[in-house]
């Protein structure tokens, strides 16, 4: 389970994230929904120990991001939609194997994991080609595979379908749902209403670094008297009156 407690990040006296708290249970997908710049990515980077919080903490399986960053990194997988971060001269298989070894997997464990993920993500036709020759969608699949190769308990997805076509996006959606069935705790950050409604069990709407509301989509539609998620979202962030 992931528990986030009052996470706050201040840059030059401005709170990019302020007192964000939530929990994610095994087998649950929580959606962080917000505009660009709302604080979604900063929140995920703090959970992933890539940014040190100004205040607050996050806990996974009894370890926290302040005192046990190396343990936290063993337990999470993270994918940022705009950053594939791969080695172009290596093949897809070599990239995935390299990151498996970095996470302490043996040769046999790495080979089995790579073969399984390549099959799940329909990568077998090109996995042994250099990554530099891949399309954007192919690279994103390898980046996704790299992030979860070590079978982490908690998955952090930050707009993972950015720049992908419909078929590639669907494949990643299906893979995220497979992770849910495998009882992983998943945080899915997006500003895409369709993806959020399709994938998430609960949502958290963030605006200007603060949580403005949270709950199931159906609950929130009823509470705010809105027929669809887009209308609900606009209502929660103040419509077009934001500065």
What is the tens place of the pLDDT at every residue in 184-242?
A: 999 999 888 889 999 999 999 999 999 999 999 999 999 999 999 999 999 998 865 44
Judge whether residue 80 has pLDDT over 90: no
Model pTM score: 0.89
Instruction: Give mean pLDDT, residues 35-42.
Output: 91
In this structure, how many other beta carbons lie within 10 angstroms of the beta carbon of residue 189? 25
Residue 4: pLDDT band by 50, 70, 90 thresholds? very high
How does residue 172 score in pLDDT terms, banded at 50, 70 and 90?
Answer: confident
Q: How confident is the model over 120-131, as a mean pLDDT?
A: 92
- The kind and range of the H/E element at 79 are strand 76-80
Residue 241, pLDDT score:
46
pLDDT, residue 242, reads: 42
- In angstroms, the CA 94 to CA 128 distance is 8
- The predicted model gives 115-143 an average pLDDT of 90
- Which pLDDT value is given to residue 84? 64
Query: How far is the C-alpha of 28 from the C-alpha of 26, rounded, in Å?
Result: 6
Quote the pLDDT of residue 8: 97
CATH superfamily of the 2-84+153-241 domain: P-loop containing nucleotide triphosphate hydrolases (3.40.50.300)
In the structure, what pLDDT confidence band is assigned to residue 107 with cuts at 50, 70 and 90? Answer: very high
Within 8 A by CB and 6+ apart from 38, the residues are 206, 207, 208, 209
Report pLDDT for 160: 86
* pLDDT reported for residue 243: 39
Name the 3-class secondary structure at 227. coil
120 pLDDT band (50/70/90 cuts)? confident
């Amino acid at each position: 389970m992931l528990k986030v407690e009052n996470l706050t990040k201040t840059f030059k006296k401005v709170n990019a994230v302020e007192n964000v708290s939530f929990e994610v249970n095994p087998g649950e997908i929580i959606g962080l929904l917000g505009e660009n710049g709302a604080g979604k990515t900063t929140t995920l980077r703090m959970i992933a120990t890539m940014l040190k919080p100004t205040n607050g903490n996050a806990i996974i399986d009894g370890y926290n991001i302040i005192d046990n960053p190396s343990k936290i990194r063993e337990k999470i997988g993270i994918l940022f939609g705009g950053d594939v971060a791969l080695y172009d001269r290596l093949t897809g298989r070599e990239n995935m194997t390299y990151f498996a070894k970095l996470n302490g997997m043996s040769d046999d464990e790495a080979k089995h994991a790579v073969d399984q993920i390549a099959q799940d993500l329909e990568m077998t036709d090109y996995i042994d080609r250099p990554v530099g020759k891949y399309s954007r969608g192919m690279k994103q699949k390898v980046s996704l595979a790299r992030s979860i190769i070590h079978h982490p308990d908690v998955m952090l997805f930050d707009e993972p379908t950015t720049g992908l076509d419909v078929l590639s996006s669907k494949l990643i959606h299906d893979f995220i749902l497979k992770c849910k069935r495998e009882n992983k705790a998943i945080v899915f950050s997006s500003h895409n209403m369709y993806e959020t409604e399709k994938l998430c069990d609960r949502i958290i709407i963030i605006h200007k670094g603060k949580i403005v509301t949270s709950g199931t989509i159906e609950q929130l539609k009823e509470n705010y008297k809105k027929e669809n998620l887009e209308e609900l979202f606009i209502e929660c962030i103040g419509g077009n009156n934001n500065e």
